[in-house]
């Protein structure tokens, strides 16, 4: 690996024995690196044009980060070999070794891969994570590998490329139902939480996968480029198979999407660490400490990372050294939920969708069974005033006054709403009311706690 400390991004030739160039910020303080992995017959710099420079220089509210470019000869650039084309397994092993080296310097490593490079990147990550478990049996689910961005990658194969150049071994890797691809796909399906969620669930690691899909791509179909990646982590861009990875400015949609995803991943990882810290505090709920712990739960019509992230952030901000606001997944199974938070789409409530109605029905069932003490229902969307009325109609007769029903225009406002509910819940706790000069969670028009301090 060649290292270059730079104040402005400048391309450097790859050394004969070096397959990666690492461009480090002049300050040397970056703890995040983006690794670019080109595709079939691509080049370390030419595949991406300005994108590495744009990311290196920062902007759009995102700080500059370090950038690394991985190069491997493929297709015509490797045609002179006894077996024409790149040895993908060998390239994946080399990239995995680079990732291991980078993990000693960086807290977060993001892989941005194009076309065949996506298969190389995922193979390398599977090798890295497997080796990590062998070296550190107690390694955390949140590893230095923060996320993978697959741009126009043939996750389901590319029949057209195989038809044209089937005598190249790297092209043969693109055949439909390739055993090699199935092997690595099985690794992610079995061991990796690929959604941007602050919980590993049944999986060993959390590594969100994202797909960038080119609408004018004639080499890789949208179905192949999507693979098994969650719908909310896919994005279509107008462009060809090659132009989709060549944004010209920080305002181009590919780069703006990348930055938004990086922010989501960083918040998710921070939330995971907050959750882990709280789990240590709540492995067992002691009866004499129960008054200092409040339990909340989020119920929504579908798993949406944005809602989970906002909910967890507000919950964490509400916790203090006196009061822990814990998600129900962090406490014993029979612990009663103090506040169940139900979130659904306002448009779905108005349309009477099964998913939206199910969220309300689940909230009512939890309340009536005694599993939840308080329930808040928040329809999200500009139509929320009408949706609030519809929610009221779905509640049993005389039950509306027992629920918080408050809609929100958008996701950010939703955070304020559920923050207000949690705040109201905490006001009932006398030990919190005794805390002086506590920073406010949210700016509310009325603050009963401040009045209590003046008494």
**Rounded distance between C-alpha atoms, residue 216 and residue 454, angstroms:** 65
**pLDDT score recorded for residue 450:** 36
Provide the pLDDT for residue 157.
76
pLDDT at 444: 36
- On whether the CB atoms of residues 73 and 169 are closer than 8 A, the answer is no
Instruction: Tell how far CA 108 is from the center of its chain.
Output: 13
Whole-number Å distance between alpha carbons of 333 and 286 = 14
Report, in angstroms and rounded to the nearest whole number, the Rg of the chain calculated over CA atoms.
Answer: 25
Give the model's pLDDT for residue 381: 93
| Torsion angles phi and psi, residue 298, rounded to 5 | -105, 125
pLDDT of 328 reads: 84
**With a threshold of 0.75, does the pTM exceed it?**
no
Structural contact between residues 324 and 295, judged by C-beta atoms closer than 8 angstroms: no
Q: Cα(393)–Cα(387) distance, rounded to whole angstroms? A: 10
Total length of the chain: 455
According to DSSP, the residues that pair with 235 across neighbouring strands are 212
| CA dihedral of 121, 126, 130, 136, whole degrees rounded to 10 | 60
Which residues, listed in sequence order, are joined to residue 36 by a DSSP beta bridge? 69, 112
CA 317 – CA 230 distance, rounded (Å): 28
Residue 394: count of CB within 10 angstroms of its CB: 18
First-to-final CA distance of the chain: 65
C-alpha distances (whole Å) from 416 to each of 176, 403, 413 are 48, 17, 5
Three-state secondary structure readout of the chain: CEEEEECCCCCCCCCCCCCEEEEEECCCCCCEEEEEECCCCCCCCCCCCCHHHHHHHCECCECCCEEEEECCCCHHHHCCCCCCCCCHHHHHHHHHHHHHHHCCCCCEEEEEEECHHHHHHHHHHHHHHHHHHHHCCCCCCCCCEEEEEEECCCCCCCHHHHHHCCCCHHHHCCCCCCHHHHHHHHHHHHHEECCCCCCCCCCCEECCEEEEEECCCCCCCHHHHHCCCCHHHEEEECCCCCHHHCCCCCCCHHHHHHHHHHHHHHHHHHHHHHHHHHHHHCCCCCHHHHHHEEEEEEEECCCCHHHHHHHHHHHHHHCCCCCEEEEHHHCCCCCCEEEEEEEEEHHHHHHCCHHHHHHHHHHHHHHHHCCEEEEEEEEECCCHHHHHHHHHHHCCCCCHHHEEECCECCHHHHHHHHHHHHHHHHHCCHHHHCCCCCCCCCCCCCCHHHHHHHC
> Which stretches in the chain have pLDDT values below 70?
76-86, 159-173, 175-178, 280-291, 302-305, 320-322, 398-399, 428-455
Instruction: Please give the Cα distance from 40 to 247 (Å, whole number).
Output: 19
The pair of three-digit structure tokens given for residue 234, joined into one six-digit string? 């896919």
In angstroms, the CA 234 to CA 403 distance is 36
**Predicted confidence (pLDDT) per residue in 365-377, tens digit:** 888 888 777 899 9
Q: What is the pLDDT of residue 61?
A: 80
What's the rounded Cα separation, in Å, for the pair 76 and 389? 64
């Amino acid at each position: 690996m060649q290292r270059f400390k730079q104040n402005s991004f400048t391309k450097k030739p790859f050394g004969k024995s070096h397959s990666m160039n690492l461009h480090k910020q002049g300050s040397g303080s970056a703890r995040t690196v983006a690794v670019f992995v080109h595709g079939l017959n691509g080049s370390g710099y030419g595949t991406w044009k300005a994108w590495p420079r744009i990311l290196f220089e920062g902007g759009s509210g995102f700080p500059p980060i370090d950038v690394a470019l991985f190069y491997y000869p493929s297709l015509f650039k490797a045609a002179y070999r006894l077996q024409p084309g790149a040895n993908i397994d060998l390239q994946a092993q080399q990239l995995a070794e680079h990732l291991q080296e980078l993990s000693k310097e960086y807290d977060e490593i993001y892989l941005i891969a194009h076309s065949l490079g996506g298969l190389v990147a995922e193979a390398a990550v599977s090798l890295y994570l497997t080796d990590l478990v062998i070296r550190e049996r107690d390694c955390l689910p949140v590893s230095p590998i923060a996320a993978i961005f697959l741009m126009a990658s043939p996750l389901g194969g590319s029949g057209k490329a195989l038809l044209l150049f089937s005598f190249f071994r790297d092209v043969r890797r693109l055949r439909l139902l390739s055993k090699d691809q199935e092997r690595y796909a099985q690794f992610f399906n079995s061991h990796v939480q690929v959604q941007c969620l602050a919980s590993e669930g049944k999986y060993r690691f959390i590594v969100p996968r994202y797909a960038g899909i080119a609408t004018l791509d004639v080499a890789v179909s949208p179905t192949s480029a999507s693979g098994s990646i969650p719908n909310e982590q896919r994005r279509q861009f107008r462009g060809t198979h090659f132009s989709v990875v060549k944004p010209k400015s920080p305002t181009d949609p590919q780069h703006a999407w990348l930055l938004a995803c990086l922010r989501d991943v960083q918040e998710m990882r921070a939330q995971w660490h907050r959750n882990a810290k709280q789990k240590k505090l709540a492995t067992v709920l002691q009866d004499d400490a129960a008054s200092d712990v409040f339990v909340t739960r989020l119920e929504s019509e579908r798993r949406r990372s944005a809602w989970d992230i906002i909910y967890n952030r507000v919950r964490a901000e509400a916790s203090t050294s006196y009061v822990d606001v814990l998600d129900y997944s962090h406490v014993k199974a029979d612990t009663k939920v103090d506040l169940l938070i139900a979130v659904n789409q306002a448009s779905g409530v108005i349309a009477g969708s099964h998913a939206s109605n199910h969220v309300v029905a689940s909230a009512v069932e939890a309340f009536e069974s005694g599993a939840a003490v308080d329930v808040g229902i928040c329809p999200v969307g500009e139509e929320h005033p009408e949706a609030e009325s519809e929610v009221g109609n779905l509640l049993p007769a005389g039950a509306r006054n027992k629920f918080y029903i408050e809609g929100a225009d958008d996701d950010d406002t939703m955070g304020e709403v559920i923050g207000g509910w949690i705040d109201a819940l905490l006001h009932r706790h006398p030990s919190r009311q005794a805390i002086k000069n506590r920073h406010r969670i949210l700016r509310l028009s009325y603050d009963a706690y401040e009045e209590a301090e003046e008494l």
